[in-house]
């Protein structure tokens, strides 16, 4: 296992641009996504509570949301302003994702505002987290590619006839991929922390746990999927042709609230949705993480057994 890990990690390390793309490019993606969202000027206002006072305001669209969805809405590409209303329908608080929000002045011109309002202006993390989760879920595609190529080249047979146990060989390769993505996750989370991003209701350790779970799930999934493929090129087809559309339905780029019912139904059965939900709503618990680990182990066991049969 140790030799397999060292050799696999050496290959990754010697691949030009690999560590740069795994560790630093995601941070550039985060910045670009949030710059795009910061300049969004969609004339939609979400509200929490009773919207009675907003009904008389012309030229805006209203969307009811729950209080724990405020950050998610502001992080999306559909809205930049959320207002909270009291039981009498008066606005008493603002949440804005951009400075000099034109929607605020639009409201001020047409109605009297309640007291105690404030503007909360911090970077919103949700959609960049969605991109990171997708990258982690598809991260083990390289692991499956290695295995398919080495099986087709007869390396599996030589391993099986040699001194290295086949399970140790597979585990060593998996650990090399896992190690690289753990480094990348630490760098990304460190960036989130020092950049002052809003991480919903979750703490840093919880975010890291979700990222780690996504990598483990990816290893099990791609070991299973790769065991059925004769050509490594099909791994790319699986990642972009199946996982990416599923991720779109789960709210990767567009809020699920705006999707038709059939897309929402698909989104709620995708792993991407639950990983994002863990972070956005802070709903991280031992039970949910244990289920992910169990599913990953089942995928890994079935994939290993299928690879072993085809040696």
Does 116 map to a domain?
Answer: no
Residue 296, pLDDT > 90, answer: yes
CA dist 239 and 175 (Å) reads 21
65 and 182 assigned to the same domain: no
CA dist 131 and 192 (Å) reads 14
Does 117 map to a domain?
Answer: no
Last residue of a domain, one of 48, 79, 110: 110
Per-residue confidence band for 115, with pLDDT thresholds at 50, 70 and 90: very low
Per-residue confidence band for 294, with pLDDT thresholds at 50, 70 and 90: very high
Does 139 map to a domain?
Answer: yes
48 and 25 assigned to the same domain: no
CA dist 81 and 103 (Å) reads 7
The count of domains in the chain is 2
130 and 257 assigned to the same domain: yes
178 and 284 assigned to the same domain: yes
Mean of the per-residue pLDDT values for the chain? 75
pLDDT score, position 160: 72
Residue 41, pLDDT > 50, answer: no
150 and 87 assigned to the same domain: no
Q: What tens digit of pLDDT does each residue of 216-233 get?
A: 999 999 999 999 998 888
44 and 145 assigned to the same domain: no
Q: What tens digit of pLDDT does each residue of 76-106 get?
A: 555 578 888 877 777 777 787 766 666 776 6
73 and 154 assigned to the same domain: no
Does 120 map to a domain?
Answer: no
274 and 299 assigned to the same domain: yes
Last residue of a domain, one of 81, 110, 139: 110
62 and 160 assigned to the same domain: no
pLDDT score, position 171: 87
pLDDT score, position 261: 82
Does 25 map to a domain?
Answer: yes
62 and 181 assigned to the same domain: no
User: 247 to each of 117, 132, 143, 173, 274, how far by Cα in Å?
Assistant: 36, 12, 21, 26, 11
29 and 61 assigned to the same domain: no
Last residue of a domain, one of 110, 142, 164: 110
pLDDT score, position 188: 82
Does 119 map to a domain?
Answer: no
User: 119 to each of 77, 79, 80, 85, 100, how far by Cα in Å?
Assistant: 19, 15, 11, 14, 10
Per-residue confidence band for 116, with pLDDT thresholds at 50, 70 and 90: very low
Mean pLDDT of 139-157: 86
Residues 6+ apart with CB under 8 A from 281: 68, 72, 200, 201
The residue that leads in pLDDT, 125 or 130, is 130
Give the range of the structural domain holding residue 91, as residue numbers without chain letter. Answer: 40-110
Does 115 map to a domain?
Answer: no
79 and 191 assigned to the same domain: no
Name the residue among 30, 39, 252, 244 with its Cα closest to residue 128. Answer: 30
Does 286 map to a domain?
Answer: yes
């Amino acid at each position: 296992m140790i030799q397999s890990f060292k050799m696999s990690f050496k290959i990754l390390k010697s691949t030009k641009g690999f560590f740069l793309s795994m560790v630093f490019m995601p941070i550039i993606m985060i910045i670009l996504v949030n710059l795009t969202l910061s300049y969004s000027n969609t004339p939609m206002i979400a509200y929490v509570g009773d919207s009675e006072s907003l009904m008389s305001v012309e030229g805006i669209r209203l969307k009811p949301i729950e209080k724990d969805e405020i950050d998610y809405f502001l992080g999306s590409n559909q809205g930049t302003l959320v207002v909270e209303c009291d039981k009498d329908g008066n606005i008493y608080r603002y949440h804005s994702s951009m400075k000099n929000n034109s929607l605020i002045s639009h409201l001020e011109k047409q109605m009297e505002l309640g007291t105690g309002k404030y503007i909360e202006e911090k970077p919103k993390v949700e959609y960049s987290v969605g991109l990171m989760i997708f990258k982690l879920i598809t991260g083990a595609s390289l692991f499956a590619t290695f295995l398919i190529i080495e099986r087709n080249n007869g390396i599996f047979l030589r391993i099986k006839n040699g001194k290295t146990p086949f399970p140790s060989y597979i585990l060593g390769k998996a650990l090399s991929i896992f190690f690289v993505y753990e480094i990348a996750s630490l760098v990304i989370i460190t960036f989130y922390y020092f950049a002052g991003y809003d991480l919903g209701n979750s703490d840093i350790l919880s975010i890291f746990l979700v990222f780690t779970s996504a990598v483990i799930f990816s290893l099990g999934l791609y070991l299973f999927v790769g065991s059925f493929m004769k050509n490594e090129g099909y791994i790319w087809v699986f990642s972009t042709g199946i996982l990416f559309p599923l991720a779109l339905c789960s709210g990767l780029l567009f809020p699920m609230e705006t999707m038709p019912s059939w897309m929402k139904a698909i989104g709620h059965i995708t792993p991407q949705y639950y990983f994002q939900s863990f972070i956005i709503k802070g709903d991280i618990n031992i039970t949910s993480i244990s289920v992910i680990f169990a599913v990953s182990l089942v995928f890994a066991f079935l994939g290993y057994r299928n690879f072993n049969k085809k040696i």
